[in-house]
Amino acid sequence: MTFIFCLFLFCLVVGLIAVASNPSPYFAAFGLVVVAGMGCGVLLGYGGPFLSLVLFLVYLGGMLVVFAYSAALAAEPYPETWGSRAVMSYFVFYFVSVFLAGIFLGKNWHKDFWVPADEGDEFTLFRADIGGVGLMYSSGGLMLIISAWALLLTLFVVLELTRGLNRGALRAV
């Protein structure tokens, strides 16, 4: 189980680097789908199957809309691929930066953060992820408003990341 969890975390970081290093919306959207899948796998490993499933379905639905919008407005005749020299140099730079940051900042990080949400499930009446959903709806809707704002902000961030060479979705049509 630890190997699969480490594989999810490694693929999550590689997917984030692929999104950050690629200027083409086609390949960056594929990287975001990989990141969504691996992030939901990490949530699943921490004991949140319901939250992981809901996040995966909502995020992939939103990514479908964002990809269609950005791909329609950022039509490039020859998009940059992962094999091109500029994208590969960014990818290597980001990968080395993350690796060095992990070496310098990651001393003993694994001792405190590998505790799943259902560690003490014999003392509780609810699962951790289902209890969180109930708390989200019972707090008067403030959490839902904050979540909707975060999704709107994420939409603009994704559109800016996948904008391409000609300003992408923000250019004049």
User: 141-169: per-residue pLDDT in tens?
Assistant: 787 788 889 888 887 877 776 665 555 55
The reported pLDDT for the residue numbered 59 is: 77
In three-state secondary structure terms, 164 is coil
The reported pLDDT for the residue numbered 119 is: 61
Please state the rounded mean pLDDT for residues 99-118. 71
Q: For tokens 């999810």, what's the residue?
A: 8
Q: Are 73 and 171 in contact (CB under 8 A)?
A: yes
- End-to-end CA gap in the chain: 50
Every domain of the chain and the residues it spans:
2-170
What 8-state DSSP symbol labels residue 169? G
Alpha-carbon distance of 152 to 154, in angstroms, equals 5
User: Higher confidence at residue 94 or residue 118?
Assistant: 94
What 8-state DSSP symbol labels residue 62? H
- For the chain, what is the radius of gyration of the CA atoms? 19
The reported pLDDT for the residue numbered 96 is: 93
pLDDT digits (tens, 9 = 90+) for 66-104: 777 767 666 667 777 777 888 888 889 999 998 898 888
The pTM (predicted TM-score) of the whole model is 0.62
- Report CA-CA distances (Å) from 2 to 34, 45, 119, 151: 20, 9, 16, 31
In terms of average pLDDT, the best of 4-8, 45-49, 82-86, 163-167 is 4-8
Count CB atoms within 10 A of the CB of residue 138. 9
Summary mean pLDDT of the chain = 75
pLDDT surpassing 90 at residue 1: no
Which CATH architecture best describes the domain 2-170? Up-down Bundle (1.20)
By mean pLDDT, which of 39-53, 69-83, 113-127 is the weakest? 113-127
The reported pLDDT for the residue numbered 148 is: 84
